[in-house]
Every structure is written in C-alpha cells, then in structure tokens.
Structure 1
Amino acid sequence: MAVLLGFFVILILITIWLYWQQSYFKRHNIPYVQTNIFLGGLSDSLLRKCGFFENVMRLYRRPEVADVPFFGFFIFQRPALVIKDPELIKRIMVKDFNSFQNRVTASYDGDPLGKYNLIFVKNPLWKRLRDKLTPFFTSGKLKKMFYIMDKVSSDLVKSVDAKMINDKVEINVRELIAAYGTDVIASVAYGLEAKTLENPNSDFRQVGRRLYTFNFIKGLGRFLQATRPELAKVIGYKRFDDEVSGFMRANINHVMTERAKTGEVRHDLIDILNELKKMDLKDNDGTPISDDVLYAQACVFFIGGFETSSSTQSFAMYELVKHQDIQERVRDEIKEMLIKHNGEITYEGVMNDTPFLQQVIIEALRLYPIVAWIDRECTDPNGYSLEPYSNFKIPYKMQLYMPAYPLHRDEKLFPNPTKFDPDRFSPENKQNMPACAFIGFGAGNRICIGERFAYVQMKTAFVKILKEYRLEPSLSTPSEIGVNSNAAVMQPDKPLLLNFVRDPLF
C-alpha cells in the first residue's frame, strides 16, 4: 500500500511539474503555441504524422502566433523560441552575433567527427578553425581550382552523352548531380579521383548514400542532435558512424601523408589540414585534440560539397523543366557569356556574366531550402534583451530557431510564394527585400563557409549542361516535389526523372 501511495505521489508531482513547465511562456507574457505536453511542438513529426518541414510550417502558421515577431514553443519540456521577424533575425544572427555564437546542433566525444566539424563545433574553437579554413574559399583560390571543376563538369556531359539514344535520354538527375558533386569535392578538396560519374557505385558514392539513408534510429538521432543533443548521446547516435568514419580517416590520412612526403602544394583542403596538424589545437576546455579534428573538417566538406549543392541543383533543374521560358532565358544568357569569352568557359564568365542563372539557383534554394530552420543558442551569461519587441530577456543557453522554410514561403515577404520566380532576386528587387527574409545559406559570422564554392560548382555544371542540352519533362517527371527531407537528392525510392535533349547552343 505504501509503495502504491508513493507511486501516485510521484506521478502527481511529475504532472504538476509538467504543467508548471508548460506555463513558462504564459508566466513571462510571451506568445506561444500550446503543444503536446510530453513531446512538445515537434510531436507531429516525431509521431510520423507529417514530415519535419511540414511540422515547422504548422508551428509558424498557428493562428495564435500569426502576427508576432517571435513566439515560444517546447522541445519535449524545454522552452525555446521561434524568431519570425526578419529584422529580429538580423539582430540575432548578424548584429549581435556575440550573444549567439553557437549552434544548438552538437555531438559528443564518442562521435568526434561529428563533434569537431565546423558546423557543430562550439566557440572559441569554431573561430580558430573557421579562420584557418576560410582561405580555401577565397575568390583567388576558387579561380585556381576552377580547372578541376571544369574537367569534372566535362565528365558530366560525357556521362550524359554516353546514355543518349537518338539525341534524347531520360535521366535521374538526383543521382547524376550527386555523382557530379561527389567527384568535385573528392578532386577539389582531397586531390582524389572518385570517378563516380563513371562508376555510380564508387566507394565515395556509397559513403554518401550511407550518410543519407535513414531508418528510425538515424532519423531520431539527427532530430535529437539538432534539438536535444545531450539525448543523442543517450541513444548512442553518431553523425558519422564507424564505417563512414573509418573510410574518411583512411583516405584523408593517406593523402595527407603522401602530400607531406612529396611536398606537393595544391592549395586545397589537404594542404590546409596539414597546416592545422602543425598547430597546437585544444578543445574549449583546454584539452589537446587528436587528428580527428582534421578528419571532421574533411567529412563536413564532403557533405557540403555533394549533398546540399546537389539537392539545390536538382530542384533548380526540375523548375527549369516546368518553366521552359525561364530555361530559355538562362540558355540565352549562357550563349551571350560564351560569345563574350570567345567560346571558352572561364571562372570570370561563369561567376560574373551569368547573373540570371545565379538568381535561378537562389530561387530554387528559397523554394526548397536545405534545412527547415537554422538554430542558435544564447551564449551571453547575462542573457539577451528583446527590447523593444518585448521586455523578456532570453536566458543563457536558451535555444532559438530561425524558420527558413516558412519564411521563404511567407506571402508577406514573398508575394505568390509558391511560384518559381527568379526575378525576385534581381538587383532592383533584392534591394527592397528585408535583409534576412532569405536565409538559404544562413547569415552573419556562421553563414555557410562554402557559399561561394557552391555557386561555382553549381553554375559550372549548369553552363556545361545547358550549353549542350535542353531539359524537358518525361512521362515520369513528378508534377510536384516534396521538401520534407533535407536529403532530397538522396531518395532512391523517389527518382527525379527528366529528359535531356541534345540541342547545342552552337
């Protein structure tokens, strides 16, 4: 009887605590959404009632928070904020970056390639790594490595040509562009030839598929790393499992060792990692760091170099097929660029003389962002005041989320938001857009370090493809395409089939 009584007392206390915790925002006079008392505001995606992107959109569009600059919600029982107002997003991500230096997303010691990569790592180690890696992405360095991208993009055209029957072929562009991205990052960053365009089952491609093939545990682990990273450790989830980690360590270590022996300088990521190896790098608690910090950067560059760019480019190709008039404008621009540069494809031509192509890519990223939202945590021990929006002070370590997907499809910011319209990002229209209404690459000091690299990679492939082919729909081309996975390019059960029709510009 005493045991039963004790059980009920504990149950009552837990219930009281849950309801007290759920009253957090009400007590602080902050607009909020009332959600599942146990799982919080992301319960619909956790219970598989909808995809994660849709869950975030549903939160954003709740009527009780329709016209507020920010609102509260819960991740399980932990209070967090969603920031809706672009001006406030700019304050948090750009102007007052020092108060929000870290991402929520993190890993732990048992997953060193996850813990120490540039996306997950915390400041001040993040800044030391970022400062060292930034030179890899300067215009001068990208110009020097452009010949490699040019070669790989030529291989891309050859692989399409090899499949042609009567000047036409149906291709799964998800796989084609993922193979291209894999070969680019292997060659440009590591000095290796993955040859994925020749062999779609190359070792590098299989690693890429493994990273973005999900089951329940991997999906839950990714979710927890982005929301409650301490719980990812409890279930033993690693961002880079032992097989992927072993593959990357072996390959990168081999190249670094050979490069150190020969003294060869390619001005690529491997050269930078060899420089990092000479530094006395320490973790934020002062403990020395193993070579895993080097392999971690190689891993995250692999992800950024093939998956995110490949996904965006696949979506852009899909929209060009749906909008032949826009495709014609891009092809006309490419033709003019080639005439200006005497028929040669150069770095300057690709980057400076194809502005409309860049607008197409940005518009694709607006409609189909890589992530549903961008996370930050308050790193100011004294908290952060939200005045004049509110007298609430964001407490130390509170999680904040900037909802990229809902923002990009908000009709108040982007009229007719589901329409694919690259002219939204023309110079004259872009200057009237709120600074952080579009956050496809992030914003502020932690903006994607590879943004310029991604543009070169994508635009080079587009120029080579559209110079030779017209993209047209096939009978298998989907009428709509979903965005409920940030691994959109890696869905083998949902091929994105388009027709490549030979139609050279010259």
Structure 2
Amino acid sequence: MLLSNYLGMRERYRYFERHNIPFVPVSKWTPLGHLKQLLFLRISFGDWFKNIYADPRISGSKLAGFFVFQTPALMLRDPELMRLVLIKQFNSFLNRYEAADAQHDAMGALTLPLAKYQQWRESRWSMSQLFTSGRMKQRMYPLLQQVLQDLELHLERRMAGQTARVLPLSEMCQLYTTDVTGQLFYSWNVGGLRLGHSPLRHQAKQLFAPHWRKVLDFMCIFFLPQWTRLLRAKVFSKSYMNYMRQLVQQPRGEQTQADLIAQLQQLQRSRPSKHYTQHSDFIASQAAIILLAGFETSSALLGFTLYELAKQPVLQQRLRRELQSAFGASGTLSYEQATTLPYLKMVCLEALRLYPAAAFINRECTADCSLQPHHDFVIPAGMPAYISILGLQRDEQFWPKPLLFDPERFAPEHLHSIEPMTYIPFGAGPHGCIGSRLGLLQLKLGVAHILRSHRVEICGETVPEIRFNPKTFMLESLDELYLRFCRDSN
C-alpha cells in the first residue's frame, strides 16, 4: 500500500517534467506538495508565494510549476504572461481558484471574491457603482472628513497631554478603517475612534482569531475547493454571519439610500429573474466581505507606511512640509488636494509596492489556453495559475534595491522606467480590486491627518524589521508596531 501510494505520487509529481516546464522540486513522499510550511502556520501566505516566485532553481524562467497538495499549479514570473492571464485571455480565466460550497455555505459562495463568473459579473457591476469618481468626491469624501476629525482627536487623547509618547499602531489603524467602512458602506457612524472600541473591529478580530477549525476551513476553500462540500468548510463563522444579517436588516432612513446595502437592494429589485441575487444572504454576504477587506489590508498598510516613514526622517520631513503647506490654516484637504499632492502620492504608491494590498492572486483556467508565443504550453482547464505580487514588486530585476523604501521610484520623471505589469498592488484586469481608488485615498488621508501635527520616530520598542504574521491571510505584522509620536509645538 505504501509503495503504491509512493509510486502514484511520484508519477503525479513528474507532471511538469513530462511537459518540459521548470518546477520547484518536491519530496515524492509527501501528499502535501509544497504546502507543508503553510499548513502548519510556519510562514505567511505572502512570504510562501514570494519564496516560490524567488526560488533560485527557477530563476530566469517565465513560469514555473509547483504543487498545491498534489494538484499541479503554475507560478507566473513574466509580466507579459501575467497580462495574458489577467487581461488578454480573461475569457479563459474567468474565476479565482478558491471556492465555497453554495449548498452549505451560501453566504461565503455569494461573496464577490468567491462567486463564480455569472454571479460575479452581476455583483461586480452593481458594486462598481459605489466607487465612481463622482460618488467618491460628492458622497464619500465628506463622510471621510468626519472620520478623519475623529482620528485626530483620538490621537490627541492617546498623547494624554504629552509632547512625545510611544504608542502602538494596530488599534488606532483598525479603528480608523472600521469607522470608514461603517460610514461609507453601512451609513453607520460607528464612533470607534471616539469611544476607543468598535463593534465592527470586534467582529473582524473575532473572525480572524486563530482556531484549528478556521484554519482547516480556509485551507480547504483556498487549496482544495472540490472538498468544501465534504468537509462543510465555511468562510465566515456562525456568529459573524448572524451579526451581518442583523446589520443589513436594520431599518434604513432616507440618508442611507446611496450606501452598499441600498445599492444591493436596488440590484435585487432590478434583477428579479436572477436567483442568486434574491438569496436571503446575498446582501449580507457582500456587506460581510467589505468589512474584512477594509479591516485587514487597509489598517495594516497604514501602519506599514508610518513605520517606513519613521525609519527615514528626511523623507518624512519632506512629506510633512508638503502637507503643512496644503493644509494651511483650514485643517482639511480638498478632494483635489488629497488626490493630487505629489509627494503624498509617491509615498503611498511606494508603500503599496513594498506591502501590496493583495500579496498574491490566482486565476483558475476555465478553458484550455495556449501560452504562445511566450511558452510552448497549453494550460488545461482546471489548473490554477498564481502571481506573487509581493515577489514581483520586490524583484530586483524590476526594482533596484527592492527592500529600500524609496518614493522617488514614483516621481513623474521616473514613471516611464517602470515596466508594465510589474506594479499591480491591487491586482489587474476585470478581477482587480474594486475598491483600489478608495483604498489609496483612505491611506493618503490617514497618513496626512496623522502627520499634520505629529511626526513619528523609531524608539527602543520599534522592531528592526517587519515579519509577516503566518496566521493571517493578508499581510499583517507579526509584532506590534510601536512608534514614538511627537506633537508639534504650537
């Protein structure tokens, strides 16, 4: 029996050798493929995919093979191949590989990231109406100003009358992003920054709290989607699902007619023939995923940006001079200023290079696709193709001194030197992040309003380098980030 299993795995693991594709070798004795470190939570998702991308044994290759358990998977390493999969041949890569079981986990299966193409197309169209330029300027920006005022007052309270104080970043950043989510998408003035605690933050933290069943469910959904029904894997916990159902069912007044919930209610009314939009959990599913997307990525990114600026006081001072000039005596930035301040934009784009909102992405091949003229291989239907955005954006082939935080990379005179498809922090193509512009705006404003009257410095409690948490899906620091906040004298 043991010999039979070994011979079977050995034959499966010869897949890329038979097809003359470079690959990362794997032990013939393990049924886990290359997943061992990841499954035992010894490495973060971002680092794991980056390590495969950067494996010296596949250096110079446009693509390479590896194994998700015993399923052959591709790691794309060439920008033109990435463009082909994400954009040019989108009709052959309609879905992400991960999936939830629609029968036992309807709320998970209905979410925008996990919905299959027909459902995804309808939901994407409706939700994209929330992120138009006009809507961001006319409706979202005034609401953001309310949260930003709370952010400044929160920081003042944390300073407790002192001119300098060491503070942790995670709580403040998380309260900021969950307050933004509540205001913009649920028409709910959560008040987390004012009160020091937030029910939205609490729900998100509870969902991400490590637990063996959550780990099993997530690994199944992401790497063994065909087993989700058998294992009854669920994206959200029962308590989180119930919370979101109650949230979207709350009475809604006239002032809420333009938020996420109202937009999806309109979709239900305009698409009565679409069975999935009429599902009782359809609106709750989208509301649930919006909170998680903002909680984990946006809050961590704000902390990473402040951390990098604290390590380089000369860059920080240049940014603060720009901000002080722009703020003037008003204490606020106009929408046009927030979107066009040049050095603020450069700083935030560089932060997104080092810490992309999506550390990796994947696509499932839904129809056999030739890689000609880039490679003599036809990707078979069902095979997943991965892109390590973290690896790509830290690749010295495309980014000299890739670990150095250098906003000058995005100076107008240097933009022409950035090779297309080597900077995709929110993904690319039709499946690219729907909220990318809002995410960038939220980051800019958070940085601007924190640094308007304070500078940040490293201190004895500041970690020398960021290690990514192996127990979270997106990029998050394993260690709390502490910085010294110094208030400007009036």
Task: Tell me which interval the TM-score lies in, with the shorter structure as reference length.
Answer: over 0.9
Give the aligned partner of residue 156 of structure 1. 151
* Number of residue pairs matched by the alignment: 484
Give the aligned partner of residue 243 of structure 2. 247
Distance 1:216 1:282 in 2: 40
Does 199-208 or 417-426 show the bigger shift?
A: 199-208
**1:123 and 2:117 correspond:** yes
Checking the alignment, whether the CA contact within 8 Å between 1:472 and 1:498 is kept in structure 2 is yes
**1:227 and 2:261 correspond:** no
Q: Residue type matched to 2:271 in 1?
A: D
Structure 2 SS opposite 1:119: coil
Distance 1:184 1:312 in 2: 15
**1:78 and 2:71 correspond:** yes
Q: Pick from 246, 263, 267: which aligns with 1:272? A: 263
Checking the alignment, whether the CA contact within 8 Å between 1:42 and 1:56 is kept in structure 2 is no
**1:114 and 2:108 correspond:** yes
Shift of 1:263: 4.2
Change (3 A) 1:49 1:190: closer
Q: Residue type matched to 1:363 in 2?
A: E
**1:173 and 2:169 correspond:** yes
Q: Pick from 296, 304, 314: which aligns with 2:303? A: 314
Distance 2:210 2:166 in 1: 27
Change (3 A) 1:487 1:42: closer
Structure 2 SS opposite 1:443: coil
Give the aligned partner of residue 414 of structure 1. 399
Q: Pick from 76, 82, 91: which aligns with 2:84? A: 91
Normalization by structure 1: what TM-score?
A: 0.90
Q: Please list the CA deviations of residues 243-278 of structure 1 after superposition, one character each: whole Å capped at 9, or x if unmatched.
A: 001001101111xxx22xx44454221220220231
Structure 1 SS opposite 2:486: strand
Give the aligned partner of residue 417 of structure 2. 432
Show the 5 A alignment for 1:448-487.
448-485=433-470, 486=472
Give the aligned partner of residue 332 of structure 1. 321
Normalization by structure 2: what TM-score?
A: 0.93
Change (3 A) 1:503 1:263: closer
Change (3 A) 1:112 1:171: farther
Structure 2 SS opposite 1:444: coil
Distance 1:315 1:487 in 2: 16
Change (3 A) 1:200 1:245: farther
Checking the alignment, whether the CA contact within 8 Å between 1:312 and 1:361 is kept in structure 2 is no
Q: Residue type matched to 1:137 in 2?
A: F
**1:197 and 2:193 correspond:** yes
Q: Residue type matched to 2:177 in 1?
A: G
Q: Residue type matched to 2:150 in 1?
A: D
Distance 1:451 1:17 in 2: 44
Structure 1 SS opposite 2:240: helix
Q: Pick from 10, 16, 20: which aligns with 2:11? A: 20
Structure 2 SS opposite 1:93: helix
Distance 2:473 2:37 in 1: 20
Structure 1 SS opposite 2:117: coil
**1:346 and 2:334 correspond:** yes
Q: Which runs of 5+ in 2 are unaligned?
A: none
Change (3 A) 1:349 1:199: same
Give the aligned partner of residue 4 of structure 1. none
Structure 2 SS opposite 1:431: helix
Distance 1:372 1:223 in 2: 17
Structure 2 SS opposite 1:104: coil
Q: Please list the CA deviations of residues 120-166 of structure 1 after superposition, one character each: whole Å capped at 9, or x if unmatched.
A: 11112111111111111011111122111111111011111112232
Q: Which runs of 5+ in 1 are unaligned?
A: 1-7
User: For the aligned residues, what is the CA RMSD?
Assistant: 2.2
Checking the alignment, whether the CA contact within 8 Å between 2:178 and 2:201 is kept in structure 1 is yes
Checking the alignment, whether the CA contact within 8 Å between 1:101 and 1:379 is kept in structure 2 is yes
Show the 5 A alignment for 1:491-506.
494-503=479-488
Give the aligned partner of residue 139 of structure 1. 133
Distance 1:351 1:467 in 2: 16
